[in-house]
Chain A
Amino acid sequence: MPVNLFGLAKTFENRAEDIGLVQGHRLCPGCAAPIVVKFSLMVARKLGYEPVVGLATGCLEVSTTIYPYTAWTVPYIHNAFENSAATMSGVETAARALKKFGVLPKDKKYAFFVFAGDGGTYDIGLQSLSGMIERGHKVIYILYDNEGYMNTGNQRSGSTPTGSNTTTAPVGKVIPGKVQLKKNIVEIVAGHEYVYAATVSISDPNDFFSKIEKSLNFDGPSFIAAFSPCVRFWRIPDGAANSISKLAVETKYWPLYEVENGVYRVTRKPRQFKPLIEFLKPQGRFKPLLSRPDADEIVQRLQEYVDRRWERLLTLEEATKGKPIR
């Protein structure tokens, strides 16, 4: 039986400290990042792995380890902003070496995780991530994508969506916020060929869990892009991370899919989609854009963009079916 929500809820009922990240951290109430972490670690724990986590500098890191406190009950290492993948490459390699030298028991089942923000992944940490995947380290790299540099106060990143209002690409009288498109990080990662890559959303826990389970079973590096609403800078209510995530999936903004050795599979195909505006409207970060006189035209272009991307995804799924690279 695959891991599912009810099974996990039962296992960790009254055992929250066993998950790995406990209460008392200083993330904003309602932030999706700790949910992403807990969803991931619960699956590893449930399947008998000992998680070891590496973090990139960012909201999750600074808010969970303010010395002399730590919210982590599993081994944790933070090195710097751009090098979490390289750091965990070292940890994972050391584990193999220590087993080989007889220092650690050969049958010890570790699960090595990276948790990094979009800045630490799409931008400054891209090289380190690429190196880790290319070398084939058995590490599960989890991107919690809040679409901006939130720790430093909402600056634009390579993941920030077009039109979002950030402090380094503000919506102004002349420039309508960020004008470039969000990078497609999953395709960049999938281009490394021997990798399991997937998108997840906290609004679809069972899909999330099954992708973590696949990552754990995959004999190589995995990459999970987790949609991770930032209640603070997306200007949404504390309780809205889940509903916004749901809308992201339902509007084709954040399709749920996976790429395993080059084979694409769309894991959720909503029968009916909602218009993109339903995702944009409830978020304060798009408000300046939506107040512009040319808002309709921009939203229309973004709608066409997500439609085309969805079509393209289905085409890739069709084209790669049964044709793994290796």
Chain B
Amino acid sequence: MNNIDLKKARAVTGAEAVANAMRQIEPHVVAAYPITPQTPIVEYFAKFVSDGVVRTEMIPVESEHSAMSAVVGAAATGARAMTATSANGLALMHEVVYIAASSRLPIVMPVVNRALSGPINIHCDHSDAMAERDSGWVQFYAESNQEAYDLTILSLKLAEDESVRLPVMVSLDGFILSHGVEPVEFLPDEVVKEFIGEPKMIYPLLDTEHPVTYGPLDLYDYYFEHKRQQVEAMENAKKVFPKVAEEFYKVSGRKYDFVEPYKLDDAEYVMVALGSTNSTIKYVVDWMREEGFKVGALKVWMFRPFPKAQIQKYLNGRKGVVVLDRSASFGAEAPLYEAVKSALYNVAIRPQMGSYVYGLGGRDILPEHIRKAFEDALSGNLIADEQRYLGLRE
């Protein structure tokens, strides 16, 4: 995690941090619908609108399906358009989430991770965002409120890059981050304005001199090629992201990458995870290192496109790799595990691997749980084809 200068930081919730990123981006249009735990983001933002702090036009839509639909319409005009949601809201949007990516609209959407119904639950897990992992959106997962703020700003620039033109989801863990207070260093408004620049209008719908048709019927003679272009755009996102991250580093002093290694240099056993749990993992790594165990962690910042090369680079030759997933894939391996395992198919020295599902429906993950998984690895007790659970009553 990037170091924060506490003298310059303010103590805020993740929701307030993200809402302020949105304030600084000042999108032309925000369409949103309330759902716990995303709600405070829209509430903060609505207040900015009513107080005239931003010029943004807000559409208080009657559903998330309409939120994403309106954002697609707005983005097609070349306007910057944003929304934010969680769980059932994201699931309700799904049809249009897919259309947004296929239409190559650079929409940025914070997703405050919450368990999908049913049964209904309001707490954190990643089942909502994971259900959209093949929707064609770039996906980031934030460890902290600072990261949620930074990634929201950074994502806009990545999304709008001409060779990318893809929507981006910034995932932040429901309640843990959205409602948890942490120090966040905000960039000055002008710095954000300059960093994101003016949006480039590409085929703007409202250009009546050059009328365009958005969303045509695209059958077997062209659809496939268009999907191929989307695959390419994702590859381009991998190329462009380091440049955007470098520019962000220049203005903020904070470094972002596909993944973040933690005490990996000599680590023999590595834990891989998404989101806020990485802070707990780092704590356990420190604790176990004090006892002499060669353990480390690899945080995955970008889940889509999946940073295969970086995963290979950091995990090749380790003795054991433990992957933590905050969502299940019923009938198959958990999503992060499956992706990491598949990436390691080609490496020179394959590590032993273990899959651990944890935290569904907001179940707490404790340092002891993480230590237990590390100990399984240390004792050579990892079975690649076995899914285990942390913090579950069986």
Interface residues, chain A, with chain B CB atoms under 8 Å away: 50, 52, 54-55, 61-62, 65-68, 70, 72-80, 82-83, 85-91, 93-98, 100-101, 103-104, 110, 127-128, 130-131, 134-135
**Can you name 11 A-B pairs with beta carbons within 8 Å?**
A65-B215, A77-B73, A77-B214, A79-B215, A89-B73, A91-B74, A93-B70, A93-B74, A98-B28, A98-B206, A128-B65
Among candidates A55, A66, A76, A90, residue contacting B69 with C-beta atoms closer than 8 Å: A90
User: What is the number of contacts between chain A and chain B, taking CB atoms within 8 Å?
Assistant: 161
Bound complex: CA A134 to CA B99 (Å): 25
Nearest chain-B residue to A83 (Cβ)?
A: B69
Among candidates B69, B75, B201, B213, residue contacting A65 with C-beta atoms closer than 8 Å: B213
Q: How large is the interface on B (under 10, 10 to 19, 20 to 34, 35 or more residues)?
A: 35 or more
B197 within 8 A of A: no
Question: Would A83 and B205 be within 8 Å (CB), given that A67-B222, A77-B76, A91-B73 are in contact?
Answer: no
Bound complex: CA A67 to CA B216 (Å): 6
B207 within 8 A of A: yes
Among candidates A72, A73, A97, residue contacting B55 with C-beta atoms closer than 8 Å: A97
Query: With contacts A86-B69, A89-B66, A93-B74 known, what are 4 further pairs, Cβ within 8 A?
Result: A61-B217, A65-B213, A67-B222, A77-B205
Q: Which residues of A contact B76 (CB under 8 A)?
A: 77, 90-91
Nearest chain-B residue to A88 (Cβ)?
A: B73
The 9 tightest CB contacts between A and B, nearest first, are A90-B73, A90-B70, A131-B62, A86-B66, A78-B215, A83-B69, A86-B69, A65-B216, A97-B28
Q: Are A72 and B59 in contact (CB under 8 A)?
A: no
Bound complex: CA A86 to CA B73 (Å): 8
Q: 1/0 contact trace for B247-259 toward A, CB 8 Å?
A: 0000000000000
Nearest chain-A residue to B218 (Cβ)?
A: A67
Residues 62-102 of B contacting A (Cβ, < 8 Å): 62-63, 65-67, 69-79, 81, 95-96, 99
Among candidates A75, A76, A98, A134, residue contacting B79 with C-beta atoms closer than 8 Å: A98
Q: Which residues of B contact A52 (CB under 8 A)?
A: 205-206, 208
Q: Are A98 and B66 in contact (CB under 8 A)?
A: no
Question: Would A79 and B69 be within 8 Å (CB), given that A52-B206, A72-B211, A135-B60 are in contact?
Answer: yes
Q: Which residues of A contact B74 (CB under 8 A)?
A: 90-91, 93-94, 97
Bound complex: CA A95 to CA B99 (Å): 21
Q: Which residues of B contact A72 (CB under 8 A)?
A: 211, 213
Residues 194-244 of B contacting A (Cβ, < 8 Å): 201, 205-208, 211-219, 221-222
Q: Are A127 and B62 in contact (CB under 8 A)?
A: yes
Among candidates A80, A88, A90, A100, residue contacting B99 with C-beta atoms closer than 8 Å: A80
Q: Which residues of A contact B72 (CB under 8 A)?
A: 79, 87, 90
Q: Are B79 and A131 in contact (CB under 8 A)?
A: no
Q: Are A101 and B59 in contact (CB under 8 A)?
A: no
Of A55, A77, A104, A110, most buried by chain B (CB within 10 Å of CB) is A77
- Shortest distance between the CB of A100 and any CB in chain B (Å): 6
Q: Are A94 and B81 in contact (CB under 8 A)?
A: yes
